[in-house]
Amino acid sequence: MKYFYNFDDLEDIAIGPDYSSAHGGWVKGDRIQVLLYHKERGTGSRPHRHPNEQFIYVLKGAVKAMVEDQERIVKAGEVIHIPSNALHNMVADTEEDLIYYVAKDTSFGIHGIPEDGKKTGAYIEPGLESDK
């Protein structure tokens, strides 16, 4: 078992390419998994769910976050709580790329399940499609 990690040394993996633009490094323990996610400006996830609870801490940038029936802009230094099975999505602000830290329990993997059931890829803000 390894006890010390550097996110810069971890493989950069797509965290849900069927519905999200998130990518980054991932460390999994027995009951907790942590991830350092990156999303390019104006990209994000389509609405999805997963049975594991999740906390998101925004390190850089801002994200338009929707959890169930609430939506707001979350900036660096703020935390988002996503209860298990809550419908949610996260889209990076169009001004700059987003970096955020995630802690999830290990009752399920790191991927979510798109609400529409389609594997059509990440959300991209209208007008930015040609940039991506």
- Per-residue pLDDT tens for 48-57? 999 999 999 9
- Domain definitions of the chain by residue range: 25-108
As its CATH architecture, domain 25-108 has Sandwich (2.60)
Q: What is the pTM of this model?
A: 0.93
What DSSP string runs through 14-77?
Answer: ES-TTT---EEEEEE-SSEEEEEEEE-TTEE--SEE-SS-EEEEEEESEEEEEETTEEEEEETT
Give tens-digit pLDDT for 73-107: 999 999 999 999 999 999 999 999 999 999 999 99
